[in-house]
Structure formats: C-alpha cells, structure tokens
Structure 1
C-alpha cells in the first residue's frame, strides 16, 4: 500500500486543501479534478428541501466527511472518520506516532493529542447506547474536537478527565472534527447558521492582497430591474443597471469572466447554431456530458451552454465589427452568475426618437440580462456555478420574513402566489402561472421540435410524455415582467433571470 500523503491540521481553519467557509462548488471542483487522490465522491442531500438542510460530501477512500450548510453552501464542518486513511500532522508533527516495535494504532491517543494541542477544558461524556462497554468522551480545543472511547464502568464526574483519558480505560480517538468556534459544545449551537469567518474562495484565503475580485455575498433585485451585488469590505455594493452598465464596468468590479459564449437563437440546437457558426466558444455538448445530445441546463434561462466554455480566439473570416457588437454571455462561475452583454437596446418608441442617435450604434457593450444561479443539488446544472443567494423586494405585503422574496423560498408556496397577485390583471397572467416545461432527457438531434413543452391546464405532467421516466430532470420556466424563474419539481429555484 502506498504511503499516505501528509495532511496539515489547522484547528478552526483547515484540513489540507479544505478550508472552512469555502464554497461547495470550489470543493467539488477540487476533488473532481484529482481522481487519483479522491477516487470516490459521495454527495448526500435532501431531495425535498435541498436548500434548507445540510449538504454532505463524503470521501470514503480518504476517511473524510465534509458538511456544508444548505442556504449558502459553505463548508462548516470537516470530519475525519478513519485515521487509517489519512496522515494528520500539526505544525509538522504526526498525530499518530509510529513505533517500529509496536502495532499500528487505529487513531491518535490522548497523550499524543495533548502534547500537540495543549491543555483543554473538560469535555462531554456520552454513555453507550447499545451493549458496548465503552461510552464516548468528546474533548475539544478551539476549532478542533476528538472522540475518545472510554470504559463506561470507570466513568465518574468526580474523576479528572486528563487522568481518565490518559489511562488504560480510554482507547485511541475514533474521529476528529474541525469547526469555527472556541469549543464543540459552543460551536454546534449555530454551526450551520452563523456567518463563516473564512471566505468562499481558498484563493482569497491564501492570497488576500493579490488584487483578486471581492466575492459577492448577495444579489438584490430592485423594483426598477437593477441588480445590487452586495460585497463585504470597502468595495461595498456594485449595482448593475440593465442597458447601461458596460463591459468595462464588469471587468473593473468583477474581474474578467471565467469564460464567455455566443448567445444561441432560441429554438436552435447546438449543432445548428452553436458548433457550425464561426466564433462559437462552446465545446461539443457530448464531451463528458451525462445526457448525450441533450441541451445543457442553461439553455432554458440563458440561451447558452455554460458547462464547458473558453475564451474566443477570434476568427479571420468574421467581420471585426460584428464580433464587437454581437450578444455574448460572460460566465462568472466563481461569482454564481452569467451576464448577457451586447449593443444597447433602444427602448424609445420611433415617434419619440426624432433626431436622437440610435443606441445600437454605441461603441460600448452593455449588460442586457443577468442570470443568478442557485446551484441546487440534484438539478441538471449542479456544480457548474457556485451558489449566489438573491432577494427581491416584495411589491405587496406577504407572510414571508422581512417582506422579501428570497432564493431559499419555495416557488410554488411563497414566490408564485405573490407574483400572481401582483400581475393578476395582466392579459398574460394565466400563462405566467402555468410555466413552460423544459425537458432534460430529450436530445435535439433528429427532431425539429422545440425542447419546451406547455401542457394544458388539466393535463397531468407525468402523463404528458407517455412515461414518467421521460420527465426526469425537468424544470419549469415561469416568466414575469423583468423576471424569469427556473423551478425544480421540489419548488427550489435553480436560476433567476433579470431582464
């Protein structure tokens, strides 16, 4: 068996490459790129409430379990469940000291942990729940805790925990946990709800002064359609105003995009419009894609594939002015957004223009649309972008907290009733409430029909396609003035488009 790679333990901060507070998207991207180091990745989440319950990533071949909160998807708890699959070090010293004349230990003994971490306050003793002779003594230091099996018959409140754990009645530790807090009893009270100390990006944690763009904490949609991107620190809020904010503004405030992609015409397949036209920046949709031939998730709300994109290297056959003026999506995977940019749209009526210069002749490209991604576990687009939470000022009094519609609200129960009430008198109100169905399992090849399907009001969705299996992975699009919601079957919003 190959020697284990040493992993540094920094209490309250990190275990090897995993830093507390890091976004789920970044952690999954990290482990998926290193298949030799992390051959098995298990993801556990609630199918009913994926945004309000913790998301758990298990790495069984590495003896690790990582727990993330549901709403913000940030790493809150790092657990070592098998010390035989990971070599832990603290300040260069091994937690398990190996002696040539002694059998290997299953975990670190108390005396070794004590010598590395120092004195601690008394912990908590939990008696055995089955017929086992050993209970569990949880002992914590700031940011780290260990579970030691302790002979139940020897336990007493009057005995000093150092003497007990350092004697023969205690066994080596069976697990370890890293968290933000002074002690485990204190930290677990609000482990998944308090604001993490560390940033979402490990790059910001390791290189805070390199001029990297500040991470976006929240996106708030104003009544006039502008989007406030809230950030910590002196940078504060960056407001995107549709048809006004330029691409230079985006680069200045958000940095260059991670990738960009030419906008596809609605109803056209990738082969028809995306991979036979010059200047397209998307890779073939069958490259490592689970549903071969199916349209990527972002087609529903953005009209583009953001799964595998790259910067456009240009094309000699393409007119330079056309390349500068066409609409294009700027993909910010680390910020959780896609932004459509293009020539300004002249919204002035022809009779009112008179001698005005048309906006379409402007030299500057502006923001036309903003897509905020929810990174909902179980969705087709999961882990293509990190999760960006959003809120919308509710136009009427609601029962929702703080009078805001948020990314954690259930669309069917909380968001849809409010918006339907606001637009009840509009001519398209009934269409707004029905939602267009986007099928994720039908490929576009060999079919000229659109991937959108609008069932009749009385028609059952499961029966519409002839078989319920054909509708696995479907989402519904609900379009309201200036807003489009992509909604999963459980009511979670996987993407919000502001246009």
Structure 2
C-alpha cells in the first residue's frame, strides 16, 4: 500500500517521487516506470476518435489513484484518489487516511481546518468539502439530506456515525469544476530545454528554410532563486552539427541511421560508399523535434516535428511540437506569397489532414508500417504519408497529423544529382535507439 503525502494545489507523492500538478505526461510515466513492482496494473485511457476533446488518464486501479491530463497541453491537471481504502494519505506529516484512521468529516476538519459550508449535490447524493486546491466528496444517505443542506456546522448524524470520504481531488485553483493544467513547474524542468512554439521559416517561393524556436529553461538570478528563462533560436538547413548543438544544447539522444531501405536502388559503387558512413539524428525529445544530418557533409538536411498523439507508435517518446506555418496551394504561385488568399491554410499540430488536403493537391499516400525492436506487430496500425513541396505529412487513421517532415531541396555540397534523387526517395520513417 502506497503511503503518500498531499500538498494542496501542488502534489501527491513520497520521499522518493511525487506527481506534481503541471508535470508532462511523459514525466509521470517515467516515475511509474521507476516504481516497477511497487506501482502495478497501470492503465492509460484516451480517445482514438477525439484525442483533443477527451482527457488522457493514467489509472492506477490497485492503488486507488487516477492522474488526469489535459489532452491539448498534455500536462497533469487533476489528481484523484477514487478508493481511499487502497492508499495511505497524510498532510503535514500526519495521517488522515489509513486502515487505522478513517477519513470522516470530523477527521478532515481536524486535519485541514475550517472551510466554507459544504455543498450538497442532490442528483449525485454527494456532499463536498472544498479547500483551495483540494476537495473531498462524501456519499450521503437520503435520510441525512436535510441535515446536510444546512452546511458543515449543523450536520445531523441520525445513526451516530459520520460519513467517510469516497473520493478526493487535488487540483490547481479554487474550483474543481473549472480546473486547468498549470504551467510546467520549475521542479519538473530537470535542466532540460522546452519548446514554447516553433515557426517554420518559408521562403517566398514556398519552400522551407528552417525553424524559429521559442524556448524556455530553468534560469537563475543573483538572489539564487530559480526562474523561467526564455530565448529564441533559429536552426536552418545547412547548419552543422556544432551549429545546432550550440543553439539547442546537447540532444537527448544521438541515433546513427544504419538502415537505408532505398539503398537497393543505388549503384553498387554508391552502396559500398554509403556503407562506410551513416546519417545522424539528433533527438530532442522535450522539443518534439529530430534533426537529421547528412553523413557526407555533416550538415542539417531534414527536420521531423512530432505531435505526440495517443495511439501513435511514438506516443510518449516526445513532447508535442507546437509548430505553425501557412501553406499555399500550388495553384496560387502567381500571387504574392506574403499575403493570405482564399486557398491559404494555417497548419498547426492540431490541424486535420482533410482540412489541409482540401487546399493542397495530394497523390496516393505511402503506407508506413512500424515494428518494435523485437519485431512484434505494431498494435496501433499503419500511418499514411503524403508529400507536398518539401513537406511530408504523416497522418493517422483518425485524420490527425502524427508528424511533419521538412527536408532540404538543395543538394548537399559535392553531391551528385543521382545521389540527390536517391536522398529524396529515402525512407521517411524515424528510428531511435
């Protein structure tokens, strides 16, 4: 049985770990993975058809705890304890819920102090006590309804026994029904860089030049108080590995692309030369971005922007990349690209493919099948890849965009036209160790 401390409007945890309101989904999963054998029977609940309208939930049925994440920002907004008998809870170092201490109304009032009069919900037959960032819900017998209607100070217990908490909610703010996920807390930064927004830089002829990233991380002041530090960086096609590392810091992981599925179409001379070198991925998981460097020139030739939708093969590997750019149909190339026309569309991480395909022409898609490292089948099924100009859209079966790949249309230095065409046909799938 877990023995946890609550901090209203902040966290639920113990000495070694804690679930903090505002933390990212992947950080909560990392905590659970670190407690293998202690936290068991984990369930992840989400909507396949409406991933932006339904909360993402991590359910811990054997511990009576439920973590509720906002589906858009994917940060923790509510912590629920739905079965008080499966967990020990304390506040200020003193237990108010355990096998020896029942969480009755008197016990809650004793542990947390005075509050406003409780609220009775006749439809659900629940009586609620609300503190700032914390709410307790009590099941109400119909014979006690009259006494409850007058608030906490005049409760009447005909049976002589006080009702016991059936559910507890921990959240940010003063109203549990209007709770929102707070910004990522400083305690969850862990010396990493995070993405606020990404703008795709497009040239006047409608092709990509690179990315303009608004970033934030943990800074410090002379008073030794940690603060959020914001800054902007541009990464462009043709930047070297050193350029990108200097702008974005060290990647979370470096992956050497050893498999080239298009190599069978190359001449024997090219295959032999390519076998001696490998393209390199810089994986920035907290930015939701991958940067691919050419093996020959060591310069950037491709960006992969991830949307981190549940139900995708790479879900929980990346934070969502909040990208944005305007896309113009090829039919409007004679117009001034700097001005929107009736056929312009703004592409974001939340756009659907049917909205985009209504503006841009699309050929028959390439079906992308992924498999795990153990060659087991992908339980989420295939995705579909559509190409337009220098962009590849990876689309899920629910019509949401799983990733966007931007590739350079300028051949690397000293690269032959034949090898350049082979580069454009390369497998677009992203592999990570």
> What is the distance in 2 between the residues matched to 1:169 and 1:472?
51
Question: Residue deviations 1:167-190, cap 9 Å, x none?
Answer: 846411001111111232xxx23x
Pick closer, same or farther for the CA change 1:162–1:266 going to 2, 3 Å.
farther
> What is the distance in 2 between the residues matched to 1:399 and 1:136?
53
- Tell me if the contact between 1:441 and 1:470 (Cα under 8 Å) persists in the aligned partners: yes
Question: Residue deviations 1:467-486, cap 9 Å, x none?
Answer: xx999611111112221111
> What is the distance in 2 between the residues matched to 1:122 and 1:398?
56
Does residue 8 of structure 2 align to residue 29 of structure 1? Answer: no
Does residue 244 of structure 2 align to residue 250 of structure 1? Answer: yes
> What is the distance in 2 between the residues matched to 1:220 and 1:63?
42
Residue 81 of structure 1 and its aligned partner are, at CA, apart by 0.9
> What is the distance in 1 between the residues matched to 2:145 and 2:364?
63
Match of residue 294 from structure 1: none
TM-score normalised by structure 2 residue count: 0.74
- Tell me if the contact between 2:120 and 2:149 (Cα under 8 Å) persists in the aligned partners: no
- For residue 407 of structure 1, the aligned residue among 327, 339, 349 is 349
Does residue 197 of structure 2 align to residue 218 of structure 1? Answer: yes
- For residue 142 of structure 1, the aligned residue among 127, 132, 141 is 132
Residue 12 of structure 1 and its aligned partner are, at CA, apart by 1.0
Residue 5 of structure 1 and its aligned partner are, at CA, apart by 3.5
Pick closer, same or farther for the CA change 1:252–1:162 going to 2, 3 Å.
farther
Write out aligned runs for 1:55-454 (5 A): 55-96=56-97, 99=100, 105=102, 108-129=103-124, 135-156=125-146, 159-164=150-155, 168=160, 170-184=162-176, 188-189=177-178, 191=179, 194=180, 196-199=182-185, 203-204=188-189, 212-224=191-203, 225=208, 226-232=210-216, 233-244=228-239, 246-267=240-261, 327-342=279-294, 360=297, 365-395=298-328, 396-397=340-341, 404-412=346-354, 414-420=355-361, 432-440=362-370
> What is the distance in 1 between the residues matched to 2:10 and 2:286?
21
> What is the distance in 1 between the residues matched to 2:299 and 2:260?
21
The RMSD of aligned alpha carbons is 3.3
Secondary structure of the corresponding residue to residue 95 of structure 1: strand
Match of residue 460 from structure 1: none
Match of residue 398 from structure 2: 490
- Tell me if the contact between 2:233 and 2:248 (Cα under 8 Å) persists in the aligned partners: no
Residue 69 of structure 1 and its aligned partner are, at CA, apart by 1.5
Secondary structure of the corresponding residue to residue 227 of structure 1: strand
Between 9-18 and 169-178, the greater mean CA deviation after superposition: 169-178
> What is the distance in 2 between the residues matched to 1:75 and 1:489?
26
Match of residue 424 from structure 2: none
Pick closer, same or farther for the CA change 1:36–1:141 going to 2, 3 Å.
same
Question: Residue deviations 1:219-255, cap 9 Å, x none?
Answer: 22232322122234543222222213x4334334433
Secondary structure of the corresponding residue to residue 27 of structure 2: helix
Q: Which runs of 5+ in 2 are unaligned?
A: 217-227, 264-270, 329-339, 408-433
Residue 368 of structure 1 and its aligned partner are, at CA, apart by 2.2
> What is the distance in 2 between the residues matched to 1:125 and 1:399?
53
The structure with more strand, counted as a fraction of residues: 2
- Tell me if the contact between 1:262 and 1:328 (Cα under 8 Å) persists in the aligned partners: yes
- Tell me if the contact between 1:440 and 1:474 (Cα under 8 Å) persists in the aligned partners: yes
Secondary structure of the corresponding residue to residue 89 of structure 1: strand
Q: Which runs of 5+ in 1 are unaligned?
A: 130-134, 270-276, 278-317, 345-359, 421-431, 446-468
| Count of residue pairs the alignment pairs up | 363
> What is the distance in 2 between the residues matched to 1:444 and 1:198?
35
Residue 59 of structure 1 and its aligned partner are, at CA, apart by 0.7
Between 471-480 and 373-382, the greater mean CA deviation after superposition: 471-480
Match of residue 18 from structure 1: 19
Using CA pairs under 8 Å that are at least 6 residues apart, name the structure with larger relative contact order, 1 or 2: 1
Question: Residue deviations 1:309-333, cap 9 Å, x none?
Answer: xxxxxxxxx9xxx87xx53001122
Residue 195 of structure 1 and its aligned partner are, at CA, apart by 5.8
Pick closer, same or farther for the CA change 1:182–1:117 going to 2, 3 Å.
same
Pick closer, same or farther for the CA change 1:166–1:259 going to 2, 3 Å.
farther
TM-score normalised by structure 1 residue count: 0.65
